[in-house]
Chain A
Amino acid sequence: MPRIALFISQRLVKAVFVILAIAVFNFFLVHAAPGDPAAVMAGEAGAADAKFVEQLRQQFGLDRPLYEQLGTYMSKVVQADLGYSYRQQRPVFDLLMDRLPVTLSLTLTAFVLALLGGIALGTLAAMRAGTWSDTAITVVGLTAYATPIFWIGLMLILLFSVNLGWLPAFGTESIGAGYTGWDAFLDRARHLVLPVTTLGLFYMAVYTRLTRASILEVRDMDFVKTARAKGLPEWRIVSVHILRNAILPVITVAGFQAGHLIGGSILIETVFALPGIGRLAFEAVLQRDYQVLLGIFLLTSVVVVVFNLLTDLIYSLVDPRIEVAP
């Protein structure tokens, strides 16, 4: 195990530098957009008085040279202080922590379900390649992948909320119902069903196709023939010998997609009116809320770096030929 520990610690050290570099890059990226928070706020207030704008700029420190602003920002970031949103009058960190559970419960659930469902369906399709069940799975997968995600969301709402009335259409909980304990959890879960399904269907289509293609490649390999010649039952051949060898490309893509868990659900959050990070980012862009935007970017990059590390670790677990080399 010390080898793994060494690997992880080295990667974490590298990750710190990567994240700092990204923070600097993000800073310039955000400032490259025309306009600034002061102009937007002044515009919304209806008092586009040059003096007022100037006063706001001074108050936010926007009148300082860019490198000085960068210096201030970076020194705060190093201290794990993401700054203060004047717009929302709250620390950025608190804002993010407010929104994060909503987004994560949506995206993580969708991600895990899509991964499991996709692998299962892909395996089924591949082992029955050429039969009607394969065709059905492929067609459904392709449709889910090709249809715009918000449209699927709207159609699901129409069917299950409006027409059938089974599931709530938006929000994270029933307002004013005052549920506690188990009931509150169930209520939240019911609110998540439609958004999770919508997002999950899309991801699942990708994993299904990928798993199917990968298995078709592996299932005719020599060692599978060896396993058959050993007289093993079919399920054992599929699960132990074929699937494990076919899973690596799926892990690659899954690791890649996991990086999008934070920011990838803007559409879903909009359609289902969920107060998540995606919506927060969208609003922050419109309002030029630099601090919030930078905070979200930083959070996203941390998530990407962490999932890359996890993917590499899972690789070496699945395939002994891949060694973790610091």
Chain B
Amino acid sequence: MTETPLLDVRNLTIDLPRGADRPHAVQDLTFTLEPGEILCVVGESGSGKSMTAHAVLGLLPKAVKVSSGEIRHQGTNVFSLPERDQRALRGGRIAMIFQEPMTALNPLMRVGDQIDEVLCYHTTLDRAARRARVVELLASVGLPEPDHLRRSYPFRLSGGQRQRVMIAMALAVEPDILIADEPTTALDVTTQKQILELIQDIQAKRRMGVMFITHDFGVVAEIAHRVAVMQRGQIVEIGTAEEVLNRPQHPYTRQLIAAVPHLIEHREDFTRARQPVLTAEKVCKTFHLGGGFFTPGRKVVAGDDLSLTIHQGETVGLVGESGSGKSTLGRSIVGLIKPDSGRILFEGVDLLSLSRPAFRPYRRHVQMVFQDPYASLNPRHTVGDIITQGPVAFGEDRHKALEKAKALLKLVGLDASAAERFPHEFSGGQRQRISIARALALEPKLLIADEPVSALDVSVQAQVLDLLEDLRHRLNLSMLFITHDLRIAAQICDTIAVMQKGRIVEIGPAKEVFGNPQHAYTRTLLDAIPGKGWTIPEDVVPVTRRSSALRTSA
């Protein structure tokens, strides 16, 4: 360790603008990144992980200023360089990939041209050489038909393919440092696995230093050499992966690790003696995209012969990758989508055969909690309005409904005064609690939860899951839990249905599906879960999930 580190961050402090919730985005940060090393930076959103990464690249927003400290790249202080040299560093020596592959590429530019841009500004290659390099790069990240693909626009590519393009772009001029800001968070498990392998592979080949930002300890266990844990702008613990993962010292680290969902956990077996609440029989749905009067469009089969039963008090997990048709089934049950054929029986009544007015009374019995708590609450309405609108529409007295809303807010662990406030005043986890209260206001018998925690931080995730678990026991709710995260499904569901390309390929009790998967696809999914090789250390074994105590902070 006598050579100068690739990246040497010393006493870095970044000020937040006045009026923010704390004075510094990061405070007195010191760490190094060596060549050939993957440093994972872990922490919840708002802990300053991304801010640090942006500071290294000089991409901080205008309102945010570095107030002290320095960032040295191979010995040179980045901040002392003129803008021209900083630009050369950016994209040239230090490259970055972002979380959202769907929005991180310019939608109006061919992907090849976007990579070409980097070469154009950082190298002296001529046009033909650059084109050859673009094709070579696309091939090196495992994209098919690179010569054809380079002429595609981003919207033609899948999320995984776009992230590969981003990586190809980052690697264009062979940087020393790759900063990856949650690069796999928005991807499916199987795609995540491929991308992680790709990053590891490239990193090992080129001896790059990788700063990998994530909130997922599974991913950390999979790839990290060293780990830094951040909380409220400070590094609370830093060390080798083995140390931090297996012998966490700081209470915050232990808390984060304890919140990680575990794959196989004992849960009491569900007895099937009870009443079925909802039965879906042979539901089919095909979407037709594009096309006109004469030209046939593309067909997407989102539901093919889907059958499943949800019993009273049972939680059925619907797992699968994006595009597998999970949400289509959920939406069909709520009545937001009309399937092409099949029956959906709610307490013996076929919902699909009902006319709109006849269907209306059933709407209150089946309620939905959506994925994105930031988009699913009307920002112009108070929380009280949002919760009472449903009951009022069903004829309840406004005053009584408001009283009930306040009781519900308390039930989901918020203060009753929240009813007078607006959604933007709440954090993501709190908003999801509001969404749940809204769904419960109608006293539904069945709750459809469509990825209710995938937009939340791990520890908040655990709290919301606890809440759902607690509510279903108290209110004897049935639940259809749609998720792409098998660890979460394992934790909360009694029955698991695995979906692939619009079909349910395997269905059975959670224990059996996870313990002894029958279908090859289920095995692929299980195999793709990051951090399988790592077991959470005994002494931080999580707070009992099934405790009925309700935690009130989110």
Interfacial residues, chain A to chain B (CB-CB below 8 A) = 221-223, 225-233, 236, 240-241, 244-245, 318-321, 325-326
**Contact (Cβ within 8 A) B107 A245:** yes
The 10 closest A-B CB pairs, nearest first, are A231-B91, A231-B90, A230-B91, A222-B103, A229-B96, A231-B87, A223-B106, A222-B104, A320-B153, A226-B104
Known: A226-B166, A229-B96, A232-B121. Is A319-B108 also a contact (CB below 8 A)? yes
- Cβ contacts under 8 Å, B106 to chain A: 223, 226-227, 240-241, 245
Interfacial residues, chain B to chain A (CB-CB below 8 A) = 57, 59, 87-92, 95-96, 98, 100, 103-109, 117-118, 121-122, 153, 155, 166, 169, 290, 292
**Contact (Cβ within 8 A) B122 A231:** yes
- Cβ contacts under 8 Å, A241 to chain B: 106, 109
**Contact (Cβ within 8 A) B104 A223:** yes
Q: Which residue in chain A gives the minimum CB-CB distance to B110?
A: A320
Of A231, A232, A233, A244, the residue contacting B89 (CB under 8 A) is A231
Of A228, A230, A319, A321, the residue contacting B121 (CB under 8 A) is A230
- Cβ contacts under 8 Å, A229 to chain B: 57, 59, 90-91, 95-96, 98
Q: How far, in angstroms, from A198 to B88 measured CA to CA in the complex?
A: 46
User: What are 27 sample pairs from A and B whose C-beta atoms fall under 8 A apart?
Assistant: A222-B103, A223-B107, A225-B98, A226-B96, A226-B98, A226-B105, A226-B106, A227-B106, A228-B57, A228-B90, A229-B57, A229-B59, A229-B90, A229-B98, A231-B87, A231-B118, A232-B91, A233-B121, A236-B117, A236-B121, A240-B109, A241-B106, A245-B106, A319-B108, A320-B153, A321-B155, A326-B292
Q: What is the total of A-B residue contacts with beta carbons within 8 Å? A: 78
Q: How far, in angstroms, from A244 to B90 measured CA to CA in the complex?
A: 23
- Cβ contacts under 8 Å, B57 to chain A: 228-229
Q: How far, in angstroms, from A166 to B74 measured CA to CA in the complex?
A: 64
Q: Which residue in chain B gives the minimum CB-CB distance to A220?
A: B61
Q: How far, in angstroms, from A244 to B108 measured CA to CA in the complex?
A: 8
**Contact (Cβ within 8 A) B59 A230:** no
**Contact (Cβ within 8 A) A230 B105:** no
- For residue A8, give the distance in angstroms from its CB to the closest CB of chain B: 15
- For residue B110, give the distance in angstroms from its CB to the closest CB of chain A: 8
Of A221, A232, A244, A319, the residue contacting B117 (CB under 8 A) is A232
Known: A226-B98, A233-B121. Is A321-B107 also a contact (CB below 8 A)? yes
**Contact (Cβ within 8 A) A225 B104:** yes
Known: A244-B108, A321-B155. Is A230-B103 also a contact (CB below 8 A)? no
- Cβ contacts under 8 Å, A226 to chain B: 96, 98, 104-106, 166, 169
Q: Which residue in chain B gives the minimum CB-CB distance to A129?
A: B62
- Cβ contacts under 8 Å, B121 to chain A: 230-233, 236
**Contact (Cβ within 8 A) A223 B103:** yes
**Contact (Cβ within 8 A) A231 B59:** no
Q: How far, in angstroms, from A70 to B121 measured CA to CA in the complex?
A: 66
- Cβ contacts under 8 Å, A230 to chain B: 90-91, 117-118, 121, 169
